[in-house]
A and B are shown apart, each in its own frame.
Chain A
Amino acid sequence: MSKNPYLGLYIIMAVLLVLPFVLPNSFYVDLAIRMAINAVIVLGLNLLIGFAGQISLGHAGFLGFGAYATAVLPTHFGWHPLLAMAAGAVAAGALAAIVARPIFKLKGHYLAMATLGLGIIINIVVRTEAQWTGGPDGMPVPAMSLAGFEISGDKHWYWLVALVLSVSVWASLNMINSPFGRALRALHGSEVASKVVGVDVVRYKVAIFVLSAMFASFMGSITAHYVGFVTPNLADFFHSIELVTMVVIGGMASVYGSVVGAVLLTALPQALTSFEGWETVAFGAILMLSMIFMPKGLVPTLSARFGRGD
């Protein structure tokens, strides 16, 4: 741990404050918004992967859950967008709890398989039930308004998302040093040892999985509102893999690693557009190379090299 664990948070906030004044055009503002959205999702997913030591290969499914709750409930049932957002997050959390309870009683990587299945089922449902979801073509999302004030345009969304990101980083840092966070870290170190000192292993793992699913659903809703349109691609297997990759490349169990991983991998497709047709190859090669040469991820590797630890 560096002298002040909040140092990174201050840097992130400073960058977020300065960015809108230095970004040359709306293309970069859009990119920054998508980076921040991914960063929040990855923070939640990293709590699961980094601390509970479990992989979710269906996190995009939860993202899609929130996004489609936000699109379908107001459009077809006239719900208020905020209510729809909350309903999506609660439903995603409930689904996660139902799936996780029996799974976490087992040892091994069964959650990876269960979430893989769950994510694919959600994606197929969304693609098939076209009368509700627009099928493979997707559907438009009604605008978000709060007390008569409509949130629209890059500027509004930038500040909203920047706020959500700062609060999420702050909350994650605090959580890791709370009794809950210490229990999670103990879990990651040794499950048997933490059981011995009285940590209810199953309960903690379920809690963290539910939390990360709700994070994802909430950010799915935000994404849907921001883009104004949802498609099943948001919830597909490949997107789930991208999210896991952001966690692993940034650094497992590292709060700042989550942010760095999300920023880098969101920018990567833009950087690869010059390799037309070769994007998939390049993306795959980067994944393999970074895992072979830097299996701990970017932030933990660098901070170890500069002797600060994390």
Chain B
Amino acid sequence: MLAEFLQFLFSGITVGATYALAALGFTLIYNASNVINFAQGEFIMLGGMLAVYFSQAGLPLPVALVLAILVPAIVGVVLEKLAIEPVKGAEPVTLIIITIGASLVIRGLIQVWLGKNTFSLPAFSGDVPLQILGATLMPQSLWVLGITAIVVVALWYFFNRTLHGKAMLATSFNRVAAELVGINTKWVLFLSFAMSAALGALGGILVTPLTLTSYDVGIMLGLKGFVAAVVGGLGNGLGAVLGGLLVGILEAMGAGYISSAYKDAMPFVLILLILFFMPRGLFGGKSTDRV
């Protein structure tokens, strides 16, 4: 009983950490620009696929991993410069379509370049599972959780203790006021796309040794990250992290106790329930309408 429960919990928080990173990515971009970036999932895919590509090309693992974060970050910045900045102030529908278009372009290019096969990445520190109260825990799960925790703490520090972070927060509260006090909001937008892409890629890299990757994994991962962001109250950083973990755990428990065929449906049932009963998300603040 306990062993089984622990087993589901372990796999839930591991995947949940990836969702949390994706959800943080959604949150960063949403706060900086009010854009819901449907290409976020492709950054997750890019991270995993590029890590595989660079490590198979013979680069040492740490170098491959850094490149696999750097390249998606550049892709994110290019996306912002070429497609988001020129249409500033467009209707939300337009922005959503643009990011969906971008996701198709990224996915399509990877499909042409690396093919439709499924790839795997060796675990960072071996495949010998740890035994905890009868449940097994892969060492890679510890990497996923540890790095996610470090990233969350680093982001907290960045937003609360550094000038750049505070500038980004100020922009998300009120763009015009932020511009008036001399914040370069263009730079904020730039930075938020780079950071959000890097976070997504990081999640994709970390989870690849456990779940494998291919050119089309970004769709589901991205949508679930989006669900996590909404569950946490869109725009709320801490909420995004907790939302990600919650979605991951719920999915694993649902797959284990209810039906594995409906594993992928669980997050979407959750989002409908949340929207019906607590529309600001579990951790979202109150909002007022401006007339």
Contacts and interface: CB of A to CB of B under 8 A. Distances in A.
Interface of A: 49, 55, 99, 102-103, 106-107, 109-110, 112-114, 116-118, 120-121, 124-125, 128, 192, 237, 241, 244-245, 248, 252, 277-288, 291-292, 295
Given A117-B227, A248-B97, A288 B102 contact: yes
Interface in B45-104: 83, 86-87, 90-94, 96-98, 100-104
A102 B273 CA distance: 11
Nearest to B104: A284
B230 A113 contact: yes
Contacts of B180: none
Contacts of B230: 113
A292 B98 contact: yes
A292 B83 contact: yes
6 contacts: A55-B92, A55-B96, A124-B262, A244-B97, A284-B107, A291-B97
Interface residues of B, number: 42
Contacts of B97: 244-245, 248, 287, 291
B251 to A, nearest CB: 12
A110 B264 CA distance: 20
B276 interface: yes
A174 B268 CA distance: 37
Given A124-B264, A244-B97, A281-B104, A106 B272 contact: no
A117 B111 contact: no
Contacts of B96: 55, 112
A51 to B, nearest CB: 13
Contacts of B2: none
B271 interface: yes
A287 B91 contact: no
Given A114-B272, A121-B265, 19 more contacts: A55-B96, A102-B276, A106-B275, A109-B36, A110-B275, A116-B271, A118-B272, A120-B223, A121-B268, A121-B269, A121-B272, A124-B262, A280-B104, A281-B112, A283-B104, A284-B100, A284-B108, A291-B97, A295-B87
B149 interface: no
Contacts of B112: 277-278, 281
A55 B99 CA distance: 15
Contact of B107 (A49, A280, A285): A280
Interface string B224-254: 0011001000000000000000000000000
Contacts of B150: none
B105 A109 contact: no
Interface of B: 36, 83, 86-87, 90-94, 96-98, 100-109, 111-112, 219, 223, 226-227, 230, 261-262, 264-265, 268-269, 271-272, 275-276, 279, 289, 291
Contacts of B91: 252, 295
Contacts of B101: 283-288, 291
A245 to B, nearest CB: 6
Nearest to A237: B219
A4 B146 CA distance: 67
A281 B93 CA distance: 21
B279 A287 contact: no
B105 A281 contact: yes
B109 A281 contact: yes
Contacts of A244: 93, 97
B87 A291 contact: yes
B73 to A, nearest CB: 20
Given A120-B268, A252-B93, A277-B112, A128 B262 contact: yes
A106 B104 contact: no
Nearest to A252: B93
Given A103-B275, A107-B289, A281-B112, A116 B223 contact: yes
A87 B271 CA distance: 27
B263 to A, nearest CB: 9
A232 B115 CA distance: 24
A49 B93 CA distance: 9
Contacts of B36: 109, 112
Contacts of A281: 104-105, 108-109, 112
A284 B94 contact: no
A164 to B, nearest CB: 26
A284 B87 contact: no
| Shortest Cβ-Cβ A-B pairs, 6 listed | A284-B104, A280-B108, A287-B101, A281-B108, A288-B101, A117-B268
Contact of A114 (B102, B264, B271): B271
Contacts of A102: 275-276, 279
A114 B268 CA distance: 8
Contact of A277 (B90, B105, B111, B271): B111
Nearest to A244: B97
B111 A292 contact: no
A103 B87 CA distance: 28
